[in-house]
C-alpha cells in the first residue's frame, strides 16, 4: 500500500463491488490497529461476532444495517458508528450495496 501514502485518493474508487460478494482491502496494518475498506453487495454481510478492538465504521456509499449487542442501526453514506470491543455485532447490506471504512484500535 506504499503507493497510497502521501497523496489524495478517492476512497470510493479504491474498492469495487462484486456480485454476491464481500470485498475487502486492508490499507493500514499496525500492531495497535488496522484500517480496512469493504464493499458489500446487496444481501451480503458479516454474521454476529465480536472483536478485541474498538471499531469505527464509516459508510462511504450506500446504507448498512449494523447490529450491536442486539440493537439494529441503519447507517448511511456520510455517517459512522462505533462498535465497542468485545460486544457482539453484525453487518448487513439489506436494501442496497454499501462501502465502508473499518478502523480498529486495540483496547486496553
List, for residues 20-63, the tens digit of each pLDDT value: 999 999 999 998 899 999 999 999 999 999 998 899 999 999 99
Nearest residue to 24 via CA among 39, 3, 12, 10: 39
pLDDT at residue 87 tops 70: yes
Q: How far apart are CA 68 and CA 71, in angstroms?
A: 5
Q: Would you say residue 93 has pLDDT above 90?
A: yes
The residue-averaged pLDDT of 79-108 equals 94
What are the chain's domains?
2-106 (2.60.120.10)
C-alpha distances in angstroms, 79 versus 20, 23, 37, 58, 108? Answer: 24, 20, 15, 6, 26
Distances (CA, A) of 65 to 4, 57, 58: 29, 11, 12
Res 108 pLDDT > 70: no
Looking at the whole model, is its pTM more than 0.85?
A: yes
Amino acid at each position: 500500500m506504499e503507493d497510497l501514502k502521501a497523496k489524495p485518493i478517492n476512497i470510493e474508487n479504491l474498492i469495487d463491488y462484486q456480485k454476491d460478494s464481500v470485498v475487502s482491502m486492508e490499507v493500514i496494518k499496525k500492531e495497535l490497529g488496522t484500517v480496512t475498506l469493504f464493499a458489500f453487495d446487496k444481501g451480503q454481510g458479516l454474521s454476529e461476532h465480536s472483536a478485541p478492538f474498538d471499531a469505527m465504521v464509516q459508510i462511504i456509499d450506500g446504507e448498512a444495517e449494523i447490529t450491536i449487542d442486539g440493537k439494529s442501526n441503519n447507517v448511511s453514506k456520510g455517517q459512522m458508528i462505533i462498535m465497542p470491543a468485545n460486544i457482539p455485532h453484525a453487518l448487513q447490506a439489506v436494501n442496497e450495496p454499501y462501502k465502508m471504512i473499518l478502523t480498529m484500535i486495540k483496547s486496553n
